[in-house]
Amino acid sequence: MLRGGTSAIFSLSPTVSIYLFFLSLFTTVFPLLFTMESIKRIGVERTSVISMAGPIVTIVLSYLFLQETLNWIQWVGCLLVFLAIMVLQFKKTVYVT
pLDDT digits (tens, 9 = 90+) for 25-47: 998 999 899 999 999 998 898 88
Is the pLDDT assigned to residue 9 strictly greater than 70? no
Assess contact for 2 and 8: CB atoms under 8 A: yes
pLDDT at 51: 86
Per-domain residue ranges of the chain: 1-42, 43-97
Query: Which range scores top for mean pLDDT: 2-16, 30-44, 45-59?
Result: 30-44
Is the pLDDT assigned to residue 97 strictly greater than 60? no
Assess contact for 32 and 24: CB atoms under 8 A: no
> Which one, of 97, 92, 94, 79, lies nearest residue 45 by Cα?
92
**Residues in Cβ contact with 88 at an 8 Å cutoff, skipping those fewer than 6 apart:** 49
Is the pLDDT assigned to residue 4 strictly greater than 60? no
Q: Read off the pLDDT band of 96 (50, 70, 90).
A: low
Report the alpha-carbon distance of residue 93 to residue 86 in Å, rounded.
11
Report the alpha-carbon distance of residue 16 to residue 12 in Å, rounded.
6
